[in-house]
Amino acid sequence: MSQTCNLPEEANLWNVHEAYTIVATQRGARRDFQKKLAMKGVEVVEFDMLNPRDVMSYCYDRGYLSVLWECGGTLSAAAISARVIHKVYAFCAPKIIGGVTAPTPVGDLGMNQMTQAIDLIDVSYEQIDRDMLMSGFIQPIPDLSPVIPSADEIPSDDPEVSPYETNIISFYKTWDTFGAFSNFSPHPIDIPDEKGDCLSWPTVEHYYQVSLS
């Protein structure tokens, strides 16, 4: 993700034989360089206004279930402000870097007081060599709210009875735009069929969609 597409001519990222690469950039940025990337097999996607939320929406439309943001302070601040970051992995090294212009893992978030700091929940720690890895989920959860359908969206056996007056309570997922903390888990599952034979499904959603057909 680069607004100006100011990227090196040669990089391991451009070796699409190792892994497929997508570059998200501002529309019109370095068209000549974009052509060079395309010749190497790199996909370049232009955005009218490049920002983390639109990029994540694009990834969602492409079917990506998880995105790891590895970036500097400027982009990480923009991603957190856009509420597209749900979990943080932070390495703490036994080193001291001084100076007013010293690099920071997170840029300006517009906070003026310590009480405005973003808390992490379900925090865990792991020592890796001399460094310490701290991970945790961002609190509060971005845009987390249950989806409550209107009365028109729920069919009723008796048209004179409101769905909210029946004894049947429908279950609705608690989710946000990018699926954070929903009851969907992108992991394979094994479920026996009618004969008792165990079948493997890439995710529970795959099984659910097939069972509806």
Q: Where are the beta strands (DSSP E) in 63-147?
A: 87-92, 119-128, 131-139, 145-146
pLDDT-derived band at 156, boundaries 50, 70, 90: low
Question: What pTM was computed for the model?
Answer: 0.64
Please give the full DSSP string across 46-77, using - where no structure is assigned. EESS--HHHHHHHHHHTT---------HHHHH
pLDDT at 106 over 90: yes
Instruction: Identify the helix (H) or strand (E) that includes residue 176.
Output: none
**Each residue's pLDDT tens digit, 169-199:** 444 444 455 555 455 556 677 777 777 788 8
Tokens representing 11 are 């990089």
